[in-house]
Each structure stands twice: as structure tokens, then as C-alpha cells.
């Protein structure tokens, strides 16, 4: 049995980790970490866990937890883990970090976009970017540190990756228009996230400067085998969960001026995703919707060719708390310990 500890267990992503791990046959939670609710019973914070979780919340003593757990999930703000991680901790326990601390390989880029000093850049080179569908071969029993991707980035990268990798689009023309439910902003009290601020409203934020931008660029740059620059604009919409991305890019024409056909683009997606459990490329003409992935670890993807403009319109949808956070973290844990990748994640999407 894998002993798992969660730092940040009372945030939205942390609570989703609890929900998923409670149904995992090979894992047990040994530590519910929360600075805000120390000594409070977990079910008093989340009443849905009444008579399911009787444990109390504990502090975030990473060193003590490393003695008790086989894997630690850190569902914490940027800078937290980087400020505490040591070689001694990594020698004793595996870590799946849900923050951005180890996602970006260039520490200068991280510090520029996040506006904080990175306290442990020595661990960045060994951290594996935990987008399982692309990097699962790098996530093994010897891996000590996994950088769990963000929700916007997971959806944006998976939606575009096959066409970038196969050279079917001009990646320099890529525009990502993304929309997220309010849980993506976390559980902390913030005026912009109050009901009266969000309800009956939709707004763009982080325009031309959202900090997930370099993460998307870096990963698509690996696919393109060169530096990539994109436009990424996120929007906040009045729903609890979900990410929907709509991406636009110029298609590369053949020597005779012909655009790639539907069959050629579909073949690119099938090449990378036909055997993927959690990536569903939809039937022709069916657009992804957040309601069809809610509560699950699935990503739904599709595309439409606009022959008039010579562009392709790419669409992707996922649940930001599951595949965009906790579900993907458990997927990474399964890989770290040699388990079936889908174990604990056979979650049928909720509807209505």
C-alpha cells in the first residue's frame, strides 16, 4: 500500500486528491496537511467527507511527513516547495508538485513570470514534467520529483501537440483562447472571485502576460524542436469547474498550395492519442464541452478546418481539478510506483 501525504489538502485541488485517493485500491492517505485548519477534523472542512474521513488536519512539516509517506503531493502556492525542498527529503520520499516551481526549466523565465526568487533551482534539471501522455517514459521508479502541469497548460498543450509535432501548422501563428471555471483560482477569499463579481459575467485576465504562457511555449517548443512564441488569453467564466480552449493556427500548405485534409489531421491525432486512455478525440463535427468531462480525468479534443482562411480551429475541454490537477497527479503517482496508469481514475464524467 502506497502511503500518501497531501500538503494543501483543504484547497480545491487538495480536496480533489482526497476524493480520488479514497477510491484508490493501492494508496492510503496518512497526512492531511493544512496550515489554516490544524487539528480540525477534515470532514468539518469538507462536509462531503463526513463518515468517510475522520482524520484531523495537520501542519505542513515536510521533513516529518517525509518519514511517514512514500509520496507527497504538494498542492500549494508557487514558491512553497522550492523554499523547503532539500536533498535529504528527496532521498526519502517521492514528490508530485502541483505548483509551477519545477515546471519551467529556465529559472530566469520562472522568476520573471512569477515574480519570485527560486529557492532551490538545483532540483529543476531532474524534475520531470508530468504530462503523462507525452512524458510517461521519463516517469519511472527512479524519478524523485514530478512537476505536475497546470490546468490551462495541460489542455492547451494536448490540444495542439500532434499538429505541432507533425509540422501541420505554423506554430508561430498559434493563438490560444482559454476559459476556466472559478475553482481554477483556488479556495482563498478574493474579491474578483466573489459571487457578485463572477455571476452573469465573463472577463479576460492576465492578457499578454499570464504566467502559464511560458509553460505552454516551452513544451510546444520541444515538439517543434525550436523556440515557440504564442498568444495566450485566459478568461474567467461563472461555473465551478472546467477548462475550454479554442486555438487558432495557420495550416501549412503543400507545394501545390493544398491544405491538409481532415483525414491527414485526424491521422496526426490518432498517431499520438488513439491508445491513450484519457484523451478522447471526438467524432467529426462534435465540439468538446466542459459538461462532458466534469468530474473525470478525460480530455476531449476536436478540430475544424476553415478552408476560407487557411486556418485550423482546435478545441479541448477538461476538468481543471481532475485532469488539470489532482487526477493527473494520481496518474503520475501510478507511473512512479509501477501501477496501472488509470488505477483510481476510472471516473465517469458527471451529468447533469
For residue 10, the model assigns a pLDDT of 97
For residue 20, the model assigns a pLDDT of 98
Average pLDDT over the chain, rounded to an integer: 97
Fold of 2-126: Rossmann fold (3.40.50)
Q: Tell me the average pLDDT across 37-48.
A: 97
φ, ψ for residue 300, nearest 5 deg: -100, 135
For residue 189, the model assigns a pLDDT of 72
Q: Where does the pLDDT of residue 187 fall: very low under 50, low under 70, confident under 90, or very high at 90 and above?
A: confident
Whether the predicted pLDDT of 310 surpasses 80: yes
What string of DSSP letters covers 93-144?
A: -EEEE-SSTTT-S-HHHHHHHH-S--S-GGGTTT-EE--HHHHGGG--TT--
Number of CB atoms found within 10 A of residue 247's CB: 25
Whether the predicted pLDDT of 193 surpasses 90: no
Q: Where does the pLDDT of residue 346 fall: very low under 50, low under 70, confident under 90, or very high at 90 and above?
A: very high
Whether the predicted pLDDT of 190 surpasses 90: no
Local structure of 182: helix, strand or coil = helix
Q: Where does the pLDDT of residue 174 fall: very low under 50, low under 70, confident under 90, or very high at 90 and above?
A: very high
Positive or negative torsion for Cα 309, 314, 315, 320: negative
Residue pLDDT, tens place only, 57-79: 999 899 999 999 999 999 999 99
Q: Where does the pLDDT of residue 324 fall: very low under 50, low under 70, confident under 90, or very high at 90 and above?
A: very high
Q: Bridge partners of 32? A: 6
Q: Around 289, how many Cα atoms within 13 Å sit in the side-chain half-sphere? A: 9
For residue 110, the model assigns a pLDDT of 97
At CA 236, angle to CA 230 and CA 238, rounded to 5?
150
Catalytic residue from among 151, 196, 287, 350: 151
Q: Tell me the average pLDDT across 161-166.
A: 98
Q: Where does the pLDDT of residue 271 fall: very low under 50, low under 70, confident under 90, or very high at 90 and above?
A: very high
Number of CB atoms found within 10 A of residue 51's CB: 6
Fold of 152-320: Dihydrodipicolinate Reductase; domain 2 (3.30.360)
Q: Where does the pLDDT of residue 188 fall: very low under 50, low under 70, confident under 90, or very high at 90 and above?
A: confident
For residue 277, the model assigns a pLDDT of 98
Q: Kindly give the interhelix angle for 262-273 and 151-165, rounded to the nearest 10 degrees.
A: 120
For residue 261, the model assigns a pLDDT of 98
Residues 328, 298: Cα–Cα separation, whole Å: 10
Q: Tell me the average pLDDT across 169-198.
A: 90
Residue pLDDT, tens place only, 241-266: 999 999 999 999 999 999 999 999 99
Q: Active-site residue 151, yes or no?
A: yes
Whether the predicted pLDDT of 291 surpasses 90: yes
For residue 282, the model assigns a pLDDT of 98
Which has the closest alpha carbon to 13: 151, 122, 191, 112? 151
Burial of 120 (0-12, 13-18, 19+ CB in 10 A): middle
Write down the pTM of the prediction: 0.97
Per-domain residue ranges of the chain: 2-126, 152-320
Residues 128, 90: Cα–Cα separation, whole Å: 14
Q: Calculate the CA dihedral of residues 230, 235, 325, 126 and round it to 10 degrees.
A: 30
Residues 297, 326: Cα–Cα separation, whole Å: 9
For residue 194, the model assigns a pLDDT of 85
Residues 215, 127: Cα–Cα separation, whole Å: 14
Residue pLDDT, tens place only, 137-163: 999 999 999 999 999 999 999 999 999
For residue 206, the model assigns a pLDDT of 96
Tell how far CA 23 is from the center of its chain: 20
- Spatial neighbors of 339 by CB under 8 A, at least 6 apart, are 26, 333
Amino acid at each position: 500500500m502506497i502511503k500518501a501525504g497531501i500538503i494543501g489538502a483543504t484547497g480545491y485541488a487538495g480536496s480533489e486528491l482526497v476524493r480520488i485517493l479514497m477510491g484508490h485500491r493501492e494508496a492510503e492517505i496518512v497526512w492531511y496537511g493544512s496550515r489554516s485548519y490544524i487539528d480540525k477534523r477534515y470532514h468539518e472542512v469538507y462536509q462531503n467527507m463526513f463518515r468517510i474521513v475522520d482524520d484531523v488536519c495537520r501542519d505542513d512539516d515536510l521533513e516529518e511527513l517525509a518519514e511517514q509517506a512514500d509520496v507527497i503531493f504538494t498542492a500549494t502556492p508557487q514558491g512553497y516547495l522550492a523554499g523547503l525542498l532539500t536533498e535529504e527529503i528527496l532521498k526519502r520520499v517521492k514528490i508530485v508538485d502541483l505548483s509551477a516551481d519545477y515546471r519551467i526549466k529556465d529559472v530566469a523565465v520562472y522568476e520573471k513570470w512569477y515574480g519570485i526568487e527560486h529557492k532551490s533551482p538545483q532540483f529543476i534539471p531532474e524534475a520531470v514534467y508530468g504530462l503523462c501522455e507525452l512524458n510517461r517514459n521519463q516517469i519511472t521508479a527512479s524519478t524523485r520529483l514530478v512537476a505536475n502541469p497546470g490546468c490551462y497548460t495541460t489542455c492547451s498543450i494536448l490540444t495542439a501537440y500532434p499538429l505541432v509535432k507533425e509540422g501541420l501548422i505554423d506554430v508561430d501563428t498559434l493563438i490560444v483562447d482559454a476559459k476556466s471555471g472559478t475553482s481554477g483560482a483556488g479556495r482563498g477569499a478574493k474579491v474578483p472571485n466573489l459571487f457578485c463579481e463572477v455571476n452573469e459575467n465573463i472577463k479576460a485576465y492576465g492578457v499578454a502576460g499570464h504566467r502559464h504562457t511560458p509553460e505552454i511555449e516551452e513544451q510546444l517548443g520541444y515538439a517543434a524542436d525550436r523556440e515557440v512564441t504564442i498568444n495566450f488569453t485566459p478568461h474567467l467564466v461563472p461555473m465551478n469547474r472546467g477548462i475550454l480552449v479554442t486555438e487558432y493556427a495557420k495550416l501549412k500548405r503543400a507545394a501545390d498550395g493544398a491544405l491538409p485534409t481532415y483525414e491527414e489531421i485526424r491521422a496526426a491525432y490518432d498517431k499520438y492519442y488513439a491508445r491513450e486512455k484519457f484523451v478522447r478525440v471526438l467524432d467529426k463535427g462534435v465540439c468538446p464541452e466542459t459538461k462532458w468531462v466534469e468530474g473525470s480525468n478525460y480530455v476531449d479534443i476536436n478540430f475544424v478546418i476553415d478552408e476560407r482562411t487557411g486556418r485550423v480551429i482546435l478545441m479541448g475541454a477538461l476538468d481543471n481539478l481532475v485532469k488539470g490537477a489532482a487526477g493527473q497527479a494520481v496518474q503520475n503517482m501510478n507511473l512512479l510506483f509501477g501501477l496501472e496508469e488509470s488505477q483510481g481514475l476510472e471516473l465517469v464524467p458527471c451529468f447533469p
